[in-house]
Amino acid sequence: MMVGGLQETVTAEHLIRQVGSAAEHGLSGVWAAQAFGWDALTALTLAGTAAPGIELGTAVVPAPQRHPLVLAGQALSVQAATGNRLTLGLGAGISMMVTGMYGLPADRPAARMREYLSVLRPLLRGEAVSHQSETLTAVGQVSVPGTTPPILLAALAPAMLRLAGELADGTVTWMTGPRTLADHIVPSITRAAQAAGRPAPRVVAGLLVSVTADAAGVRDRVAEQFGLAGHVPEYRAVLDREQAAGPQNVVIAGDEAQVERQLRRLRDAGVTDVLVAPFGSQDEQDHTIEVVAALAAADHHNG
C-alpha cells in the first residue's frame, strides 16, 4: 500500500495510522513516493517503527537530486533503523522537474542512471568508491551497519528497462496499465535479466485503486487531481502505449468484483507485486484496503 499523502498533506499521526491499517489488514508492505510532501526515506523510518515486520519501499526516489554517497548513507541508515526491510526504488526523475526546479541536467537519463548505479551499488555494499567522470564524481565510503537493500528501477523506455534488468532487482511502475505491462514492461525487463544472468526480476505495479459505487466520479476526480501527468512526456509515452487518454483511464475503480477482475489482469500480465494507492473518500479508501487485503489473503491461501 502507498502511504504518505498522494491526495492530501498528512501529519505524522495520519501516516502512522495509514501504516497501522496496512499492517492490521495483513498487507505485505508500505511504500512511499518522493514528491512534494514527506521525504520518502524519513517516512519509511517512521513507518518501520509503527509496523514491525512488513516491507518498506520507495516508489520512487529521484536520483539526480541525491548524490550516490548521500543516498547510500540515507538508505543504509533506514536499513539499520528498521531491521533491513528497505526496498530502494529509484528513478531518473521527471525531466521538467529535474531541470526546472533543480537546475540539473536531464539528458541521457539511461546513461546517467547506469553510471549512478555503478557507484551506488558498491556503496550500498559498504565498499569504497573512487569515480570521476564528466557527469559524476564520487570518492568515499559509507559505513553504516546493515545489509544491502534490493534496488528497483522506475523504467518505462526500452533503454531504462534493459538497465533495470541488467543492474537492478526489478522495476516499479506508476500509472502503467495491464496492456503495457504485459506487452512491454514485463517481457523487456525479463529478457534483459536473462541476458545478464540475473534472477527473474520483480515487477511492482503502482496504481490508484478505488472500490466504489461511483467509478465514473472517481475517474473524474483522478482526471482533475492527476491530469497533469498526462502532459508529462515520460508518462504520456506509457499512456499512449496503453491507448489511454489520461491517468483516469488506468485507475482501477468499480465494485468489488470489477476491482478484483482488474487486479487479476495485472497478475496475468506478469506483475509480481501490486502497489495499491487507495483513492477516494476516507470511507472508499478504507473499503478499498479491506477488499484488497481480502484478495491478497485469498491468493496467499490458494498458493
At 8, is the pLDDT very low, low, confident or very high (cuts 50, 70, 90)?
Answer: confident
At 9, is the pLDDT very low, low, confident or very high (cuts 50, 70, 90)?
Answer: confident
- Helices and strands counted in the chain (H then E): 12, 12
pLDDT at 166: 98
pLDDT in tens, 127-144: 999 999 989 999 999 999
Residue with cell 531541470: 99
pLDDT at 301: 63
Kindly state which CATH superfamily the domain 155-193+203-303 is placed in.
Luciferase-like domain (3.20.20.30)
pLDDT in tens, 105-129: 999 999 999 999 999 999 999 999 9
Q: Which residues does 281 contact at the CB level (< 8 Å), separation at least 6?
A: none
**Maximum Cα–Cα distance across the chain:** 57
User: Over 80: is that where the pLDDT of 6 sits?
Assistant: no
pLDDT in tens, 230-275: 888 888 989 999 999 999 999 999 999 999 999 999 999 999 999 9
Closest CA to 130 of 68, 79, 65: 68
Angle between helices 12-24 and 40-50 (to 10 degrees): 60
Average pLDDT over residues 73-88: 97
Residues 182 and 271 sit within 8 Å (Cβ to Cβ): no
pLDDT at 223: 95
pLDDT in tens, 23-65: 999 999 999 999 888 999 999 999 999 999 999 999 999 999 9
pLDDT at 229: 85
End-to-end Cα, the chain, rounded Å:
21
Which phi and psi angles does 293 have, rounded to 5°? -65, -40
DSSP 168-179: SSEEEEES--HH
Residues 206 and 31 sit within 8 Å (Cβ to Cβ): yes
Q: Between vectors from CA 154 to CA 149 and to CA 159, what angle results, nearest 5°?
A: 115
- Say whether pTM exceeds 0.85: yes
Kindly report the average pLDDT of the chain as a whole number. 94
- What is the sign, positive or negative, of the torsion defined by CA atoms of 288, 293, 294, 299? positive
CA–CA gap between residue 129 and residue 140 (Å, rounded): 6
Amino acid identity of 143? S
Angle between helices 12-24 and 282-301 (to 10 degrees): 30
User: Residue 16 CB: number of other CB atoms within 10 A?
Assistant: 17
User: Over 80: is that where the pLDDT of 302 sits?
Assistant: no
Average pLDDT over residues 181-203: 98
DSSP 3-state helix, strand, coil percentages of the chain (rounded to 5)? 50, 15, 30
Q: Kindly compute the dihedral angle of the four CA atoms of residues 290, 296, 302, 303, in this order, to the nearest 10 degrees.
A: -160
